[in-house]
Amino acid sequence: MPISHLKITIYLALDVYLIFMTNGQRHEYTQNPKVSAVLVFGDSTSDPGNNNFIMTGFKGNFPPYGRDFPNKTPTGRFTNGMLATDLVARYLGVKDNVPPYLDPSLTVHDLMTGVSFASAASGFDPLTPTISNVISLPRQLEYFREYKTRLAGRFGKTRTMEIVNNALYIVSAGTNDFVVNYFTLPTRRQQFSLPSYMDFILNKQMDFLQSLWNEGARKIAVVGLAPMGCLPIVITLFSDNALLNRGCIDFFSSVGRTYNSMLQTRLSLMQFELANQQGGRITYLDSYSTLSEAVESHKHGFKEVQRGCCGTGLLETTVLCNTKSITCADASKYVFWDSIHPTEALYRIFFESTRSVIDYMVKD
């Protein structure tokens, strides 16, 4: 038997075993008539813990991460509480939180209402995930194909495709391609000018979305880039005087604005060429405005907008934000949890700002 088939067989056997052992006490989720599942791809903005199960140092499965998550559990989410994707799943009534696909305890019934394939530190550039040894976007797509096979083994191909076609897909990645890769390491800067690199990333992103469509996705929400010049770690690493001048660096943020404009144009074209003809919706979710308004316009009333809650908030992330780090008393007053990642409070604002788009995506 091929190894891939053996792996699927083991997964299915484990699903049956767990259903039997729980004796019906496992929480059942009723299928939402508007959306069958929430399926997520991307980076740390949507990774609920897949990196826990791979050999990488880029993990968040230890305190103080998860400090404000239910039961104060550090799940691997790179924040103090829930991600925006969790909030979307709750809003749609699909499930309480979107779990990581690689969690071996998930049953096929857990899978059918949605999982995240995202991996913190990943990106669309094939080089980006190799820097931190994380799961590439093409590999996430392979896991999605495996996911479909697991469902088909339990529910059959017809029911599986109903779930796949009626799921809401959220794709959130791209920041690492610029912050971790292009702006920090020399390889891509030697190969690409900044405009040509943006074209390179955009083409990789559109190839991924096309592949997702080919697999049966019909409701795809794509998150744009944030104002990268407002991330505390970017200010610390690239500001002339990072201790005194903690303002956003517009050069880096302007890359996000330009890229987002390019992305929206390509998504509109994809909507016209594919979705309008074959049925489906492909749309853009604006994360840039949420973060920019919070940091630069002080619109949402956060007490601290220039540094993270964990440690000094200037450079700490992943292992540098740990059990020995001093953290702020109330993370809801902070835009950032560590030097890169937002707090649950900002994710909630982002979710609220996109609710009308989510409603449009899942309407009949």
Mean pLDDT is lowest, of 30-34, 180-184, 272-276, 332-336, for 30-34
Q: Are 74 and 60 in contact (CB under 8 A)?
A: yes
Q: How far is CA 333 from CA 57, 162, 307, in A?
A: 29, 42, 11
Q: CA nearest 182: which of 127, 135, 236?
A: 127
Task: Round the average pLDDT of the chain to a whole number and report it.
Answer: 91
Rounded distance between C-alpha atoms, residue 347 and residue 117, angstroms: 19
CB 38 within 8 A of CB 85: yes
Picking from 224, 179, 344, the residue whose alpha carbon sits closest to that of residue 188 is 179
pLDDT at 6 over 60: no
| Class of the domain covering 3-362 | alpha beta
Residues 323-351, mean pLDDT to the nearest whole number: 98
Digit-coded pLDDT (tens) for 65-86:
999 999 999 999 999 999 999 9
Q: Which of 1-15, 155-169, 273-287 has the lowest mean pLDDT?
A: 1-15
The 10s digit of each residue's pLDDT in 164-180 is: 999 999 999 999 999 99
Q: How many Å is the maximal CA-CA distance in the chain?
A: 63
| Domain boundaries along the sequence of the chain | 3-362
> Does residue 18 carry a pLDDT above 70?
no
Q: Name the burial class of residue 346, with classes exposed (0-12), middle (13-18) and buried (19+) by CB atoms within 10 angstroms of its CB.
A: buried
Q: Please, which residues have CB within 8 angstroms of residue 145's CB and are 6 or more apart in sequence? A: 215
Indicate the pLDDT class of residue 245, thresholds 50, 70 and 90.
confident
Residues labelled catalytic: 44, 338, 341
Q: Per-residue pLDDT for 125 more than 50?
A: yes
The angle subtended at Cα 81 by Cα 78 and Cα 87, nearest 5°, is 105
Give CA–CA dist 319/304, Å, rounded. Answer: 22
CA–CA gap between residue 96 and residue 200 (Å, rounded): 37
Asked if the model's pLDDT at residue 13 lies above 80, the reply is no
Strand order through the sheet with 168-172? 38-42, 168-172, 219-223, 281-285
Residue 11 pLDDT grade (very low, low, confident, very high; cuts 50, 70, 90): very low
- Which whole number is the average pLDDT over 238-243? 80
Q: Does 146 have pLDDT greater than 80?
A: yes
pLDDT at residue 364, as a whole number = 73
Distance, CA of 322 to CA of 252 (rounded, Å): 28
Residue bearing tokens 């590439």: 136
Task: Name the percent of the chain lying above pLDDT 90.
Answer: 86
User: Given the DSSP bridges, would you call strands 281-285 and 38-42 parallel, antiparallel or unpaired?
Assistant: unpaired
- Coil, helix or strand for 195? helix
Query: Strand 281-285 vs strand 219-223: parallel, antiparallel, or unpaired?
Result: parallel
95-117 pLDDT per residue, tens: 999 999 999 999 999 999 999 99
| pLDDT for the residue 241 | 76
